[in-house]
Protein backbone atom coordinates (compact mmCIF):
# COMPACT_ATOMS: atom_id res chain seq x y z
CA UNK A 1 0.00 0.00 0.00
CA UNK A 2 2.77 2.40 0.98
CA UNK A 3 4.41 1.70 -2.28
CA UNK A 4 1.22 2.60 -4.20
CA UNK A 5 0.81 5.90 -2.37
CA UNK A 6 4.43 6.62 -3.00
CA UNK A 7 3.93 5.98 -6.69
CA UNK A 8 1.00 8.33 -6.78
CA UNK A 9 2.99 10.97 -4.98
CA UNK A 10 5.95 10.71 -7.30
CA UNK A 11 3.75 10.65 -10.37
CA UNK A 12 2.43 14.04 -9.24
CA UNK A 13 5.91 15.38 -9.74
CA UNK A 14 6.04 14.15 -13.29
CA UNK A 15 5.49 16.70 -15.99
CA UNK A 16 3.11 15.62 -18.72
CA UNK A 17 3.41 17.15 -22.12
CA UNK A 18 1.08 16.66 -25.04
CA UNK A 19 1.96 14.64 -28.06
CA UNK A 20 0.91 16.06 -31.40
CA UNK A 21 -0.28 14.45 -34.55
CA UNK A 22 0.91 16.38 -37.57
CA UNK A 23 -1.54 16.10 -40.42
CA UNK A 24 0.25 16.74 -43.69
CA UNK A 25 -2.84 18.31 -45.16
CA UNK A 26 -2.30 21.58 -46.94
CA UNK A 27 -5.93 22.60 -47.04
CA UNK A 28 -6.51 22.39 -43.32
CA UNK A 29 -3.04 23.72 -42.66
CA UNK A 30 -3.66 26.84 -44.73
CA UNK A 31 -7.09 27.24 -43.15
CA UNK A 32 -5.60 27.06 -39.69
CA UNK A 33 -2.85 29.55 -40.51
CA UNK A 34 -5.43 31.92 -41.98
CA UNK A 35 -7.52 31.60 -38.86
CA UNK A 36 -4.50 32.31 -36.71
CA UNK A 37 -3.64 35.33 -38.81
CA UNK A 38 -7.23 36.50 -38.51
CA UNK A 39 -7.18 36.16 -34.74
CA UNK A 40 -3.84 37.93 -34.46
CA UNK A 41 -5.08 40.68 -36.76
CA UNK A 42 -8.26 41.04 -34.74
CA UNK A 43 -6.33 41.09 -31.49
CA UNK A 44 -3.72 43.60 -32.54
CA UNK A 45 -5.72 45.73 -34.95
CA UNK A 46 -9.15 45.89 -33.43
CA UNK A 47 -8.76 45.03 -29.77
CA UNK A 48 -5.48 46.73 -29.03
CA UNK A 49 -4.97 49.52 -31.55
CA UNK A 50 -8.54 50.54 -32.28
CA UNK A 51 -10.37 49.72 -29.07
CA UNK A 52 -7.34 50.31 -26.87
CA UNK A 53 -7.95 47.03 -25.07
CA UNK A 54 -4.82 47.51 -23.00
CA UNK A 55 -6.43 50.37 -21.14
CA UNK A 56 -8.55 50.58 -18.08
CA UNK A 57 -11.38 52.92 -19.00
CA UNK A 58 -13.69 55.12 -17.03
CA UNK A 59 -16.94 56.55 -18.32
CA UNK A 60 -18.29 57.98 -15.09
CA UNK A 61 -17.33 61.54 -15.82
CA UNK A 62 -18.01 64.13 -13.16
CA UNK A 63 -18.52 67.57 -14.49
CA UNK A 64 -19.61 71.05 -13.66
CA UNK A 65 -20.79 73.62 -16.16
CA UNK A 66 -20.91 77.35 -15.60
CA UNK A 67 -22.18 79.71 -18.27
CA UNK A 68 -22.09 83.42 -18.74
CA UNK A 69 -23.69 85.46 -21.50
CA UNK A 70 -22.71 88.86 -22.70
CA UNK A 71 -24.38 91.38 -24.99
CA UNK A 72 -27.17 93.93 -24.86
CA UNK A 73 -30.07 94.79 -27.08
CA UNK A 74 -32.44 97.69 -27.28
CA UNK A 75 -36.00 96.85 -28.28
CA UNK A 76 -38.86 98.98 -29.35
CA UNK A 77 -42.34 97.53 -29.16
CA UNK A 78 -45.60 99.29 -29.89
CA UNK A 79 -47.15 98.51 -26.49
CA UNK A 80 -44.10 99.05 -24.40
CA UNK A 81 -41.78 101.51 -26.06
CA UNK A 82 -38.03 101.27 -25.73
CA UNK A 83 -36.48 98.74 -23.47
CA UNK A 84 -32.87 97.80 -22.84
CA UNK A 85 -32.16 94.13 -22.38
CA UNK A 86 -29.04 93.12 -20.55
CA UNK A 87 -27.87 89.60 -19.74
CA UNK A 88 -29.60 89.88 -16.36
CA UNK A 89 -32.87 90.39 -18.22
CA UNK A 90 -32.72 87.97 -21.09
CA UNK A 91 -30.95 85.02 -19.42
CA UNK A 92 -33.36 82.98 -17.37
CA UNK A 93 -32.34 81.83 -14.79
CA UNK A 94 -29.58 84.40 -14.48
CA UNK A 95 -27.15 82.48 -12.28
CA UNK A 96 -25.24 80.78 -15.10
CA UNK A 97 -26.52 77.23 -15.15
CA UNK A 98 -25.96 74.28 -17.44
CA UNK A 99 -29.45 74.80 -18.89
CA UNK A 100 -30.42 78.38 -19.61
CA UNK A 101 -32.88 80.31 -21.68
CA UNK A 102 -32.15 83.34 -23.80
CA UNK A 103 -35.08 85.62 -24.62
CA UNK A 104 -35.25 86.47 -28.31
CA UNK A 105 -38.83 87.58 -28.73
CA UNK A 106 -41.69 88.59 -26.45
CA UNK A 107 -45.22 89.92 -26.06
CA UNK A 108 -45.65 92.29 -23.20
CA UNK A 109 -48.95 93.22 -21.58
CA UNK A 110 -48.04 96.27 -19.52
CA UNK A 111 -49.80 97.88 -16.63
CA UNK A 112 -52.15 95.06 -15.62
CA UNK A 113 -54.25 95.74 -12.56
CA UNK A 114 -56.71 93.57 -10.63
CA UNK A 115 -60.20 94.36 -11.89
CA UNK A 116 -63.00 93.34 -14.25
CA UNK A 117 -62.59 92.86 -17.96
CA UNK A 118 -63.71 90.51 -20.76
CA UNK A 119 -61.96 87.17 -21.16
CA UNK A 120 -59.81 86.66 -24.23
CA UNK A 121 -61.76 85.26 -27.22
CA UNK A 122 -58.95 82.68 -27.60
CA UNK A 123 -60.20 80.79 -24.55
CA UNK A 124 -63.07 78.46 -25.56
CA UNK A 125 -64.54 78.24 -22.06
CA UNK A 126 -64.86 82.01 -21.95
CA UNK A 127 -67.10 82.33 -25.01
CA UNK A 128 -70.78 83.16 -24.41
CA UNK A 129 -74.00 84.56 -25.89
CA UNK A 130 -76.07 84.99 -22.72
CA UNK A 131 -75.31 85.84 -19.13
CA UNK A 132 -76.44 82.41 -17.89
CA UNK A 133 -73.53 80.82 -19.70
CA UNK A 134 -71.15 82.68 -17.37
CA UNK A 135 -71.88 81.19 -13.94
CA UNK A 136 -70.70 83.55 -11.22
CA UNK A 137 -67.71 82.29 -9.25
CA UNK A 138 -66.64 79.69 -11.77
CA UNK A 139 -63.09 79.88 -13.08
CA UNK A 140 -62.56 79.93 -16.79
CA UNK A 141 -60.99 76.65 -17.81
CA UNK A 142 -57.53 77.37 -19.20
CA UNK A 143 -58.41 81.06 -18.91
CA UNK A 144 -57.30 84.07 -16.95
CA UNK A 145 -59.79 84.65 -14.14
CA UNK A 146 -63.08 84.05 -12.35
CA UNK A 147 -66.46 84.60 -14.08
CA UNK A 148 -68.62 87.36 -12.72
CA UNK A 149 -71.91 86.22 -14.28
CA UNK A 150 -72.02 88.77 -17.08
CA UNK A 151 -71.66 88.15 -20.78
CA UNK A 152 -70.10 91.02 -22.68
CA UNK A 153 -71.68 91.34 -26.11
CA UNK A 154 -68.85 93.33 -27.73
CA UNK A 155 -66.37 90.48 -27.46
CA UNK A 156 -68.77 87.56 -27.04
CA UNK A 157 -66.95 86.46 -23.90
CA UNK A 158 -67.68 86.35 -20.18
CA UNK A 159 -66.60 89.14 -17.92
CA UNK A 160 -63.94 87.99 -15.48
CA UNK A 161 -62.22 89.17 -12.33
CA UNK A 162 -58.52 89.09 -13.26
CA UNK A 163 -55.36 91.03 -14.02
CA UNK A 164 -56.76 93.37 -16.60
CA UNK A 165 -56.52 93.83 -19.45
CA UNK A 166 -55.86 90.19 -20.39
CA UNK A 167 -53.04 89.37 -22.75
CA UNK A 168 -53.81 89.69 -26.44
CA UNK A 169 -51.90 90.00 -29.63
CA UNK A 170 -49.60 87.81 -31.67
CA UNK A 171 -45.93 87.16 -31.34
CA UNK A 172 -44.04 89.45 -33.69
CA UNK A 173 -43.02 87.71 -36.88
CA UNK A 174 -39.47 89.05 -36.43
CA UNK A 175 -37.52 88.45 -33.26
CA UNK A 176 -37.53 91.63 -31.23
CA UNK A 177 -34.11 90.92 -29.78
CA UNK A 178 -32.47 90.64 -33.14
CA UNK A 179 -29.04 91.38 -31.70
CA UNK A 180 -29.27 88.18 -29.70
CA UNK A 181 -27.49 86.53 -32.57
CA UNK A 182 -24.38 88.43 -31.54
CA UNK A 183 -24.61 87.51 -27.86
CA UNK A 184 -21.74 85.41 -26.61
CA UNK A 185 -21.87 82.39 -24.36
CA UNK A 186 -18.88 81.67 -22.20
CA UNK A 187 -18.91 78.02 -21.14
CA UNK A 188 -16.69 76.89 -18.31
CA UNK A 189 -16.60 73.14 -17.96
CA UNK A 190 -14.67 71.33 -15.27
CA UNK A 191 -14.38 67.57 -15.53
CA UNK A 192 -13.01 64.84 -13.38
CA UNK A 193 -12.42 61.13 -13.77
CA UNK A 194 -12.33 60.05 -10.14
CA UNK A 195 -11.08 56.48 -10.65
CA UNK A 196 -8.18 57.61 -12.80
CA UNK A 197 -7.74 60.73 -10.65
CA UNK A 198 -7.63 63.10 -13.56
CA UNK A 199 -9.25 66.50 -13.85
CA UNK A 200 -9.24 69.24 -16.40
CA UNK A 201 -11.12 72.27 -17.64
CA UNK A 202 -12.11 73.32 -21.14
CA UNK A 203 -10.48 76.69 -20.57
CA UNK A 204 -6.90 75.92 -21.41
CA UNK A 205 -4.30 77.09 -18.91
CA UNK A 206 -2.47 78.74 -21.78
CA UNK A 207 -5.43 80.97 -22.61
CA UNK A 208 -4.86 84.49 -21.32
CA UNK A 209 -7.40 87.18 -20.63
CA UNK A 210 -7.10 89.06 -23.86
CA UNK A 211 -7.48 85.88 -25.85
CA UNK A 212 -10.61 85.00 -23.92
CA UNK A 213 -12.03 88.45 -24.55
CA UNK A 214 -11.61 88.32 -28.29
CA UNK A 215 -11.75 84.69 -29.39
CA UNK A 216 -14.83 82.98 -30.77
CA UNK A 217 -15.10 79.24 -30.95
CA UNK A 218 -14.49 77.84 -34.39
CA UNK A 219 -13.96 74.18 -35.11
CA UNK A 220 -11.02 74.84 -37.38
CA UNK A 221 -9.37 78.01 -36.15
CA UNK A 222 -10.20 78.20 -32.45
CA UNK A 223 -11.18 74.70 -31.33
CA UNK A 224 -10.27 75.41 -27.71
CA UNK A 225 -11.87 78.80 -27.34
CA UNK A 226 -14.70 78.49 -24.80
CA UNK A 227 -16.70 81.45 -26.08
CA UNK A 228 -19.53 80.81 -28.52
CA UNK A 229 -21.52 83.16 -30.66
CA UNK A 230 -25.25 82.40 -30.45
CA UNK A 231 -25.67 82.72 -34.19
CA UNK A 232 -22.83 80.29 -34.89
CA UNK A 233 -24.16 77.74 -32.43
CA UNK A 234 -27.55 77.80 -34.12
CA UNK A 235 -26.06 77.69 -37.60
CA UNK A 236 -24.02 74.61 -36.65
CA UNK A 237 -27.24 72.82 -35.75
CA UNK A 238 -28.37 73.27 -39.35
CA UNK A 239 -30.95 75.99 -38.64
CA UNK A 240 -30.79 79.74 -38.83
CA UNK A 241 -31.11 82.17 -35.97
CA UNK A 242 -34.30 83.45 -37.53
CA UNK A 243 -35.86 79.95 -37.46
CA UNK A 244 -35.45 79.59 -33.74
CA UNK A 245 -35.62 83.12 -32.46
CA UNK A 246 -39.16 83.96 -33.54
CA UNK A 247 -40.99 81.04 -31.95
CA UNK A 248 -38.26 79.75 -29.72
CA UNK A 249 -36.45 76.45 -29.67
CA UNK A 250 -34.07 74.22 -27.86
CA UNK A 251 -30.43 73.65 -28.71
CA UNK A 252 -28.09 71.04 -27.30
CA UNK A 253 -24.41 71.74 -26.96
CA UNK A 254 -22.46 68.55 -26.47
CA UNK A 255 -19.06 68.55 -24.86
CA UNK A 256 -17.26 65.30 -25.42
CA UNK A 257 -14.10 64.37 -23.58
CA UNK A 258 -12.24 61.41 -25.02
CA UNK A 259 -9.01 61.18 -23.17
CA UNK A 260 -6.13 58.82 -23.69
CA UNK A 261 -4.25 59.37 -20.47
CA UNK A 262 -1.24 57.44 -21.75
CA UNK A 263 -0.57 60.50 -23.82
CA UNK A 264 0.22 63.93 -22.53
CA UNK A 265 -2.44 65.80 -20.63
CA UNK A 266 -2.51 68.50 -23.30
CA UNK A 267 -3.85 65.88 -25.74
CA UNK A 268 -7.02 65.55 -23.68
CA UNK A 269 -9.31 68.19 -25.09
CA UNK A 270 -13.04 68.70 -25.39
CA UNK A 271 -14.91 68.31 -28.62
CA UNK A 272 -18.07 70.31 -29.13
CA UNK A 273 -21.15 69.31 -31.04
CA UNK A 274 -24.36 71.19 -31.68
CA UNK A 275 -27.84 69.92 -32.33
CA UNK A 276 -31.38 71.18 -32.24
CA UNK A 277 -33.31 69.20 -29.66
CA UNK A 278 -36.92 70.33 -30.10
CA UNK A 279 -37.53 69.49 -33.70
CA UNK A 280 -37.69 66.59 -36.01
CA UNK A 281 -37.52 67.33 -39.71
CA UNK A 282 -41.29 67.03 -40.20
CA UNK A 283 -42.41 69.13 -37.27
CA UNK A 284 -40.56 72.29 -38.18
CA UNK A 285 -43.72 74.38 -38.27
CA UNK A 286 -45.96 72.33 -36.05
CA UNK A 287 -47.41 73.31 -32.69
CA UNK A 288 -44.87 71.28 -30.81
CA UNK A 289 -41.79 73.12 -31.94
CA UNK A 290 -40.92 76.37 -30.27
CA UNK A 291 -40.53 77.37 -26.68
CA UNK A 292 -42.19 80.10 -24.65
CA UNK A 293 -43.34 80.89 -21.16
CA UNK A 294 -44.72 83.80 -19.15
CA UNK A 295 -43.54 85.79 -16.19
CA UNK A 296 -44.62 89.05 -14.58
CA UNK A 297 -42.86 91.96 -12.95
CA UNK A 298 -44.75 93.71 -10.17
CA UNK A 299 -44.65 97.37 -9.25
CA UNK A 300 -46.44 99.80 -6.96
CA UNK A 301 -47.69 103.09 -8.33
CA UNK A 302 -47.58 106.40 -6.49
CA UNK A 303 -50.93 105.68 -4.84
CA UNK A 304 -49.60 102.34 -3.49
CA UNK A 305 -51.62 100.28 -5.93
CA UNK A 306 -49.96 97.15 -7.31
CA UNK A 307 -49.70 96.70 -11.04
CA UNK A 308 -47.67 94.37 -13.18
CA UNK A 309 -46.15 93.91 -16.59
CA UNK A 310 -46.80 90.46 -18.03
CA UNK A 311 -44.23 89.04 -20.40
CA UNK A 312 -44.69 86.11 -22.70
CA UNK A 313 -41.18 85.34 -23.83
CA UNK A 314 -39.97 83.25 -26.73
CA UNK A 315 -36.38 82.20 -26.83
CA UNK A 316 -33.74 79.61 -27.18
CA UNK A 317 -33.07 77.12 -24.48
CA UNK A 318 -29.49 75.90 -24.37
CA UNK A 319 -28.77 72.56 -22.85
CA UNK A 320 -25.12 71.73 -22.31
CA UNK A 321 -24.51 68.00 -22.21
CA UNK A 322 -21.15 66.74 -21.04
CA UNK A 323 -19.95 63.21 -21.48
CA UNK A 324 -16.75 61.40 -22.04
CA UNK A 325 -14.45 58.61 -21.17
CA UNK A 326 -10.84 58.20 -20.31
CA UNK A 327 -8.46 55.29 -20.49
CA UNK A 328 -5.05 54.51 -19.14
CA UNK A 329 -2.80 51.47 -19.53
CA UNK A 330 -3.50 48.76 -17.01
CA UNK A 331 -2.13 45.25 -16.83
CA UNK A 332 -5.42 43.54 -15.99
CA UNK A 333 -7.43 44.40 -19.14
CA UNK A 334 -4.29 43.71 -21.17
CA UNK A 335 -3.97 40.21 -19.77
CA UNK A 336 -7.69 39.55 -20.11
CA UNK A 337 -7.69 40.62 -23.75
CA UNK A 338 -4.63 38.56 -24.62
CA UNK A 339 -6.21 35.62 -22.83
CA UNK A 340 -9.43 35.88 -24.77
CA UNK A 341 -7.43 36.13 -27.99
CA UNK A 342 -5.60 32.92 -27.16
CA UNK A 343 -8.90 31.26 -26.35
CA UNK A 344 -10.07 32.21 -29.84
CA UNK A 345 -7.04 30.39 -31.25
CA UNK A 346 -8.32 27.35 -29.40
CA UNK A 347 -11.60 27.72 -31.27
CA UNK A 348 -9.58 27.56 -34.50
CA UNK A 349 -7.97 24.31 -33.39
CA UNK A 350 -11.40 22.91 -32.67
CA UNK A 351 -12.84 23.95 -36.04
CA UNK A 352 -9.84 22.63 -37.97
CA UNK A 353 -9.97 19.36 -36.02
CA UNK A 354 -13.62 18.98 -36.92
CA UNK A 355 -12.90 19.58 -40.60
CA UNK A 356 -9.89 17.31 -40.63
CA UNK A 357 -11.47 14.46 -38.75
CA UNK A 358 -15.04 14.52 -40.02
CA UNK A 359 -15.48 16.56 -43.17
CA UNK A 360 -12.73 15.45 -45.49
CA UNK A 361 -12.55 12.52 -47.84
CA UNK A 362 -9.58 11.12 -45.92
CA UNK A 363 -11.11 11.83 -42.55
CA UNK A 364 -11.32 8.20 -41.48
CA UNK A 365 -7.59 7.79 -42.01
CA UNK A 366 -6.85 10.79 -39.82
CA UNK A 367 -9.27 9.57 -37.22
CA UNK A 368 -7.55 6.21 -37.03
CA UNK A 369 -4.21 7.87 -36.56
CA UNK A 370 -5.34 10.38 -34.04
CA UNK A 371 -7.53 8.24 -31.84
CA UNK A 372 -5.81 5.28 -30.27
CA UNK A 373 -8.31 2.92 -28.73
CA UNK A 374 -6.80 1.46 -25.59
CA UNK A 375 -8.59 -1.27 -23.67
CA UNK A 376 -7.16 -2.94 -20.64
CA UNK A 377 -6.34 -6.34 -22.03
CA UNK A 378 -5.06 -5.24 -25.36
CA UNK A 379 -2.83 -2.60 -23.98
CA UNK A 380 0.10 -4.98 -23.56
CA UNK A 381 -0.33 -6.21 -27.06
CA UNK A 382 -0.29 -2.66 -28.44
CA UNK A 383 2.87 -1.92 -26.67
CA UNK A 384 4.45 -5.12 -27.80
CA UNK A 385 3.60 -4.49 -31.42
CA UNK A 386 5.14 -1.09 -31.25
CA UNK A 387 8.29 -2.45 -29.74
CA UNK A 388 8.68 -4.95 -32.45
CA UNK A 389 8.17 -2.33 -35.08
CA UNK A 390 10.39 0.31 -33.64
CA UNK A 391 13.31 -1.70 -32.37
CA UNK A 392 14.70 -4.15 -34.80
CA UNK A 393 16.96 -7.07 -34.04
CA UNK A 394 19.99 -4.90 -33.90
CA UNK A 395 18.87 -3.21 -30.72
CA UNK A 396 19.02 -6.13 -28.43
CA UNK A 397 20.88 -4.41 -25.63
CA UNK A 398 18.09 -1.93 -25.05
CA UNK A 399 15.61 -4.70 -25.07
CA UNK A 400 17.51 -6.64 -22.48
CA UNK A 401 17.48 -3.77 -20.09
CA UNK A 402 13.81 -3.23 -20.48
CA UNK A 403 13.14 -6.85 -19.89
CA UNK A 404 15.18 -6.84 -16.77
CA UNK A 405 13.28 -3.91 -15.47
CA UNK A 406 9.93 -5.53 -16.13
CA UNK A 407 10.99 -8.69 -14.43
CA UNK A 408 11.88 -6.85 -11.28
CA UNK A 409 8.61 -4.98 -11.46
CA UNK A 410 6.78 -8.25 -11.36
CA UNK A 411 8.22 -9.27 -8.05
CA UNK A 412 6.04 -7.43 -5.59
CA UNK A 413 2.90 -8.11 -7.56
CA UNK A 414 3.28 -11.87 -7.61
CA UNK A 415 5.12 -12.12 -4.32
CA UNK A 416 7.61 -14.40 -5.91
CA UNK A 417 11.10 -13.86 -4.65
CA UNK A 418 13.71 -13.95 -7.30
CA UNK A 419 17.41 -13.96 -7.00
CA UNK A 420 18.72 -10.63 -8.13
CA UNK A 421 20.41 -11.20 -11.40
CA UNK A 422 22.32 -8.45 -13.04
CA UNK A 423 23.42 -10.35 -16.02
CA UNK A 424 20.99 -9.72 -18.83
CA UNK A 425 22.10 -12.77 -20.81
CA UNK A 426 21.20 -15.28 -18.11
CA UNK A 427 17.95 -13.51 -17.53
CA UNK A 428 16.84 -13.79 -21.10
CA UNK A 429 17.22 -17.49 -21.55
CA UNK A 430 14.60 -18.72 -19.13
CA UNK A 431 12.19 -16.05 -20.21
CA UNK A 432 12.58 -16.97 -23.77
CA UNK A 433 11.91 -20.59 -23.09
CA UNK A 434 8.93 -19.71 -20.98
CA UNK A 435 7.55 -17.68 -23.77
CA UNK A 436 8.07 -20.44 -26.20
CA UNK A 437 5.94 -22.78 -24.23
CA UNK A 438 3.31 -20.73 -22.49
CA UNK A 439 3.20 -16.98 -22.35
CA UNK A 440 2.53 -14.82 -25.35
CA UNK A 441 2.09 -11.84 -23.05
CA UNK A 442 5.76 -11.53 -22.42
CA UNK A 443 6.72 -11.70 -26.02
CA UNK A 444 8.59 -8.39 -26.20
CA UNK A 445 11.06 -9.47 -23.55
CA UNK A 446 12.12 -12.56 -25.39
CA UNK A 447 14.65 -12.70 -28.15
CA UNK A 448 12.25 -14.93 -29.97
CA UNK A 449 9.38 -13.02 -31.37
CA UNK A 450 6.06 -14.54 -32.30
CA UNK A 451 5.27 -14.51 -35.91
CA UNK A 452 1.54 -14.57 -35.87
CA UNK A 453 -1.00 -12.70 -33.95
CA UNK A 454 -3.16 -15.78 -34.03
CA UNK A 455 -0.92 -17.54 -31.56
CA UNK A 456 -1.08 -14.57 -29.27
CA UNK A 457 -4.86 -14.61 -29.27
CA UNK A 458 -5.02 -18.29 -28.57
CA UNK A 459 -2.86 -18.20 -25.48
CA UNK A 460 -4.09 -14.97 -24.10
CA UNK A 461 -5.44 -16.60 -20.97
CA UNK A 462 -2.10 -17.50 -19.57
CA UNK A 463 -1.27 -15.04 -16.88
CA UNK A 464 2.08 -13.42 -16.22
CA UNK A 465 2.20 -15.30 -12.92
CA UNK A 466 2.43 -18.61 -14.68
CA UNK A 467 5.21 -17.17 -16.80
CA UNK A 468 7.17 -16.32 -13.76
CA UNK A 469 6.56 -19.68 -12.20
CA UNK A 470 8.08 -21.37 -15.22
CA UNK A 471 10.91 -18.98 -14.96
CA UNK A 472 11.53 -19.91 -11.36
CA UNK A 473 11.49 -23.65 -12.02
CA UNK A 474 14.23 -23.27 -14.45
Ligand X SMILES: *[C@@H]1O[C@H](CO)[C@@H](O)[C@H](O)[C@H]1NC(C)=O
Q: Are 442 and 407 in contact (CB under 8 A)?
A: no
Question: What's the min distance (Å) between Cβ of 180 and ligand X?
Answer: 8
* Minimum distance of ligand X from residue 274's CB (angstroms): 19
CB of residue 181 to ligand X, shortest distance in Å: 6
Nearest Cα residue to 175 out of 240, 87, 104: 104
The least CB distance from residue 272 to ligand X, in Å, is 21
252 phi/psi in degrees, rounded to 5 = -105, 130
For the chain, first and last CA: distance in Å?
31
Nearer to ligand X, 178 or 414 (CB): 178
- Cα–Cα distance, 408 to 325 (Å, whole number): 71
Q: Please, what is the minimum distance in Å from the beta carbon of residue 329 to ligand X?
A: 47
Can the peptide bond before residue 165 be classed as cis, meaning omega within 30 degrees of 0? yes
Q: Which stretch binds ligand X (CB under 6 A): 2-10, 139-147, 174-182, 267-275?
A: 174-182
Rounded to a whole number of angstroms, the minimum distance from the CB of residue 76 to ligand X is 14
CB of 174 to ligand X, least distance (A): 11
Buried b (16+ CB within 10 A) or exposed e, 366-384: beeeeeeeeeeeeebbeeb
Q: CA 423 to CA 400: how far, in whole Å?
A: 10
Q: What contacts 141, CB < 8 A, 6 or more positions away?
A: 123, 124, 125
**Binding residues with ligand X: total (CB under 6 A):** 4
Which contacts qualify for 407-414: CB closer than 8 Å, 24 or more apart? 407/431, 407/445, 410/464, 410/468, 412/3, 414/464, 414/465, 414/468
Q: Which stretch binds ligand X (CB under 6 A): 33-41, 176-184, 215-223, 263-271?
A: 176-184
State which residue, 126 or 175, has the beta carbon closest to ligand X.
175
- Smallest gap from residue 184 Cβ to ligand X (A): 11
Task: Output the smallest distance, CB 146 to ligand X, in A.
Answer: 43
Q: Which is nearer to ligand X, 182 or 447 (CB)?
A: 182
Best CA proximity match to 68, nearest among 93, 31, 46, 105: 93
Site string for ligand X, 178-197 (x = CB under 6 A): xx-xx---------------
Give the helix, strand, coil percentages of the chain, each rounded to 5: 40, 30, 35
DSSP H or E segment with residue 211: helix 209-214
- 5 CB neighbour count, 10 Å cutoff: 9
Smaller CB separation from ligand X, 174 or 265: 174
Contact flag: residue 201 with ligand X (CB under 6 A):
no
Task: Give the single-character DSSP code of 155.
Answer: T
Q: Which residue number is nearest to ligand X in terms of Cβ?
A: 182
User: In the complex with ligand X, which residue's Cβ is closer, 216 or 367?
Assistant: 216
Cβ closest to ligand X, residue 179 vs residue 188: 179
Binding mask 377-406 vs ligand X (x if CB under 6 A, - otherwise)? ------------------------------
Of residues 245 and 259, the one with the C-beta less far from ligand X:
245
Site string for ligand X, 129-168 (x = CB under 6 A): ----------------------------------------
Q: Which region, judged by CB under 6 A, interacts with ligand X, from 48-56, 177-185, 299-307, 363-371?
A: 177-185
Nearer Cβ to ligand X (178/363): 178
* Contact between residue 134 and residue 128 where contact means Cβ atoms under 8 Å apart: yes
DSSP string, 311-377: EEEEEEEEEEEEEEEEEEE-HHHHHHHHHHHHHHHHHHHHHHHHHHHHSSTTHHHHHHHH-----TT
Q: Which of 91, 61, 60 shows the shortest CA–CA distance to 73?
A: 91
Is the Cβ of residue 83 or residue 275 nearer to ligand X in the bound state?
83
Based on CB atoms, which residue is closest to ligand X, 134 or 180? 180
Report in angstroms how near the CB of residue 245 gets to ligand X at its nearest: 10
Point out which residues bind ligand X (CB under 6 A): 178-179, 181-182
Amino acid sequence: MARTWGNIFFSLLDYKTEKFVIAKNKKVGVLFRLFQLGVIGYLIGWVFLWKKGYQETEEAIQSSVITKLKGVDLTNSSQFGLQLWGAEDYVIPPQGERIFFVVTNYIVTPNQRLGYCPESPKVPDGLCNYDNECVEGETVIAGHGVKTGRCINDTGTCEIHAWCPVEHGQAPSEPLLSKAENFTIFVKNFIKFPKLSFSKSNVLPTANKTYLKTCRYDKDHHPYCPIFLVRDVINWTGYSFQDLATKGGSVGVGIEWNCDLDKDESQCNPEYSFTRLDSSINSQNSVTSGYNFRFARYYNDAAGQTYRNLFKVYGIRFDILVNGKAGRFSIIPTVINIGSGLALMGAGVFVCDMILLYMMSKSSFYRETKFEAVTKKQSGKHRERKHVRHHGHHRQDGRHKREEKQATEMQPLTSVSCQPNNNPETQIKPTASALKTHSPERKPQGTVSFRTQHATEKQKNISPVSTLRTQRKQ
